[in-house]
């Protein structure tokens, strides 16, 4: 897919996700309804939800979903609201690498496991590094496609901090492909989103990729 087409697809995904999340027209099911749905799936799979080992499973699954998808209840922009003026006129690249990433594929609701790398070149403000990790967590703890996840992280940093440039690279394995379907373990998807000088200046981009230890292959950009 060409770069412009991918950008359009990711923007459309973000817009539709945002409208669904912000809409009050759709009633959120009660916890008892969610647990009943899990019971139905257990029965559909061919087992008895009332047998000893499965009696508490619907409740446990719903609690797990609260953890897996906690990102829907958090505002990613608010996370970056508290910033600091640059100390000692720091104007070099800030990079966090090897951030463990756990998300879920929106097509099969199975895990996406990997690492995220984030870098930006500050203009006027910097943010606490833990806030960048939390930002990744907020977007990851939603039903996702990796291309959109990569863009959401980069675009939010760019929109809120307004740095000279942002780079985000995610390298992750999708269990929808490794444990089902074509069943190809050991395969990972690498996506990137480069904005500002990270996109326009090859030297800046190479420095970032070198700092995160990126492989020689070109990441799939979004």
Identify whether residues 171 and 199 lie together within a single domain.
yes
Identify whether residues 185 and 215 lie together within a single domain.
yes
Q: According to the model, what pLDDT value does residue 221 have?
A: 58
Q: Give 30's DSSP letter.
A: P
Residue-level pLDDT, tens digit, the chain, 222 residues: 344 444 444 444 444 444 444 445 789 999 999 999 999 999 999 999 999 999 999 999 999 999 999 999 999 999 998 877 766 567 899 999 999 999 999 999 999 999 999 999 999 888 999 999 999 999 999 999 999 999 999 999 999 999 999 999 999 999 998 898 888 888 999 999 999 999 999 999 999 999 999 754 445 555
Just list the catalytic residues. 105-108, 146, 174, 176
Q: Name, in order, each residue with C-beta under 8 angstroms of 20's C-beta and a sequence gap of 6 or more.
A: 26
Q: According to the model, what pLDDT value does residue 22 have?
A: 47
Residue where a domain terminates, one of 68, 85, 101: 68
Q: According to the model, what pLDDT value does residue 84 have?
A: 78
Identify whether residues 49 and 112 lie together within a single domain.
no
The CATH number linked to 33 is: 1.10.286.10
Identify whether residues 82 and 45 lie together within a single domain.
no
Residue where a domain terminates, one of 68, 92, 114: 68
Q: According to the model, what pLDDT value does residue 25 have?
A: 73
On whether the CB atoms of residues 138 and 72 are closer than 8 A, the answer is: no
Identify whether residues 158 and 91 lie together within a single domain.
yes
How many CB atoms sit inside 10 A of residue 67's CB?
9
The CATH number linked to 180 is: 3.30.1130.10
3-state secondary structure of 96: strand
Identify whether residues 192 and 159 lie together within a single domain.
yes
The CA-atom distances, in angstroms, between 144 and each of 12, 52, 54, 72, 141 are 13, 34, 29, 12, 8
On whether the CB atoms of residues 222 and 7 are closer than 8 A, the answer is: yes
Identify whether residues 53 and 162 lie together within a single domain.
no
Identify whether residues 81 and 39 lie together within a single domain.
no
User: How many domains is the chain partitioned into structurally?
Assistant: 2
| 11-33 b/e (C-beta count within 10 Å ≥ 16 → b) | eebeeebeeeeeeeeeeeeeeee
- Print the domain residue range for 163: 75-221
- 74's tokens: 């958090």
Identify whether residues 105 and 173 lie together within a single domain.
yes
């Amino acid at each position: 897919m060409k770069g412009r087409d991918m950008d359009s697809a990711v923007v459309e995904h973000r817009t539709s996700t945002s409208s669904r999340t912000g809409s009050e027209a759709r009633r959120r099911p009660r916890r008892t309804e969610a647990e009943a749905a899990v019971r139905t799936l257990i029965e559909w799979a061919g087992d008895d939800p009332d047998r000893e080992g499965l009696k508490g499973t619907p409740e446990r699954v719903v609690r797990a979903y609260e953890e897996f998808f906690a990102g829907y209840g958090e505002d990613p922009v608010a996370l970056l609201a508290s910033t600091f003026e640059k100390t000692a006129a720091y104007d070099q690249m800030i990079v966090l690498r090897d951030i463990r990433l756990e998300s879920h594929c929106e097509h099969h609701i199975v895990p996406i496991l990997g690492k995220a790398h984030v870098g930006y070149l500050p203009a006027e403000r910097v943010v606490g590094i833990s806030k960048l990790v939390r930002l990744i967590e907020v977007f990851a703890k939603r039903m996702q496609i990796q291309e959109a996840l990569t863009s959401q992280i980069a675009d939010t940093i760019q929109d809120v901090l307004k740095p000279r440039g942002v780079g985000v690279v995610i390298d992750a394995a999708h269990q929808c492909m490794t444990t089902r379907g074509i069943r190809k373990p050991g395969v990972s998807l690498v996506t990137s989103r480069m904005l500002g000088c990270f996109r326009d200046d090859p030297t800046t981009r190479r420095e970032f990729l070198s700092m995160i230890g990126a492989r020689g292959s070109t990441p799939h950009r979004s």
